[in-house]
């Protein structure tokens, strides 16, 4: 049976299952250590949760040619959406395992719905309450991921290298003037209307759906959410904040709506230059968690694994 992914603020049971799964994975240590990833300092075990954070960080540092300051193995190019879909799937499987429930789906946060609120309402919306996932602060002072319950153990330093730490989670909601508000429903509709999926130069400068959703022109949609939340959502170790998965689940939900309405298509094809390695249709995507090669083509229809309770509307 396919898992059902639902809105995290619509049902307390959905939120509670997610919180329980995250905390279980955060406190599960199955063997990998910091030395396995070349992280300096005293050798420590790496939790199952933190393995995903390390994977994301390493993917962002794995640059793909020809632009060494732009496209990497998971961002700033076509593979952005299928790579994160794979990451979400593997994380969802881990949540299902620790909860002993194969029907549990990752929840999503409908940030466009919050983006329809005034700026003060966005910061004060249900997600950021004690009954949600806690709010803003250094560290976050309330909710299930407050410092007494949830510790950040691996982070990026100022030089984008991994290091160990032991502190509470940081958020700075709405504090960055470059992203003072969340994406809006109108922006979501506009993004869903973009075609094709991606275009040359297959980078931050590209037109098309993928970059409008990831968006480096300037901050918008996915990137706008990261910057608006700030704190631990800003660096390459952004999965340190459990809201990372709620954000990316919604990004994936928007992509699924596009796939349903525009056709399950992907570019670039395998006939494109090898300089686009890791971003072409049948290229194995970068992973440290599974040895089985997985390609963007395999991520275009995963309806047998999960579905969403509601997809965004195109109008």
Q: Between the CA of residue 300 and those of 86, 114, 164, 176, 290, what are the distances in Å? A: 11, 28, 36, 34, 19
Pairing of strands 306-308, 3-5: parallel
**Separation CA 218–CA 220 (nearest Å):** 6
pTM recorded for the entire structure: 0.97
pLDDT along the chain (315 residues), means of 10: 95 97 98 95 95 97 76 96 98 98 97 96 97 97 98 90 96 94 95 95 92 79 95 97 98 98 96 94 96 96 97 90
Other CB atoms closer than 10 Å to residue 61's CB: what's the count?
A: 15
- Token pair of 293 as six digits: 């090669």
**Separation CA 167–CA 155 (nearest Å):** 10
pLDDT of 67 reads 60
What value, to the nearest 5°, has the Cα angle with vertex 224 and ends 218 and 226? Answer: 130
Domains in the chain: boundaries = 3-308
pLDDT of 98 reads 98
The radius of gyration of the chain's CA atoms, rounded to the nearest angstrom, is 18
pLDDT of 156 reads 93
One CATH from 1.10.510.10, 3.40.50.720, 1.10.1280.10, 1.10.10.10 for 3-308: 1.10.1280.10
**Separation CA 211–CA 230 (nearest Å):** 21
Packing angle, helices 243-262 and 185-192, rounded to 10: 40
pLDDT of 1 reads 80
């Amino acid at each position: 049976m396919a898992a059902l992914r639902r809105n995290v603020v619509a049902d307390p049971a959905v939120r509670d299952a997610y919180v329980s799964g995250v905390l279980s994975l955060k406190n599960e240590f199955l063997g990998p250590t910091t030395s396995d990833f070349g992280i300096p300092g005293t050798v420590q075990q790496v939790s199952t949760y933190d393995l995903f954070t390390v994977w994301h960080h390493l993917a962002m540092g794995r640059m793909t040619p020809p632009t060494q300051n732009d496209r990497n193995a998971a961002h700033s190019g076509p593979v952005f959406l299928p790579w994160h879909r794979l990451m979400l799937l593997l994380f969802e499987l881990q949540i299902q395992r620790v909860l002993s429930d194969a029907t549990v789906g990752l929840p999503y946060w409908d940030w466009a719905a919050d983006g329809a609120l005034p700026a003060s309402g966005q910061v004060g919306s249900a997600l950021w309450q004690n009954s949600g996932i806690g709010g803003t602060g250094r560290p976050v002072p309330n909710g299930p991921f407050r410092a007494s319950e949830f510790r950040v153990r691996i982070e990026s330093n100022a030089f984008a290298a991994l290091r160990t730490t032991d502190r509470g989670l940081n958020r700075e909601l709405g504090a960055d003037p470059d992203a003072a508000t969340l994406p809006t429903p109108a922006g979501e509709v506009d993004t869903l209307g973009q075609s094709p999926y991606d275009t040359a130069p297959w980078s931050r400068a590209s037109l098309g759906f993928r970059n409008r959703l990831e968006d480096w022109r300037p901050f918008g949609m996915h990137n706008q959410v990261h910057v608006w939340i700030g704190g631990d959502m800003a660096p390459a170790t952004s999965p340190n904040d459990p809201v990372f998965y709620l954000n990316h689940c919604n990004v994936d939900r928007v992509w699924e709506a596009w796939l349903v309405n525009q056709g399950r298509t992907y570019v670039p094809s395998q006939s494109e230059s090898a300089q686009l390695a890791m971003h072409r249709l049948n290229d194995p995507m970068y992973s440290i968690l599974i040895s089985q090669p997985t390609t963007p083509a395999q991520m275009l229809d995963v309806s047998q694994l999960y579905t969403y309770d509601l997809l965004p509307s195109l109008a």
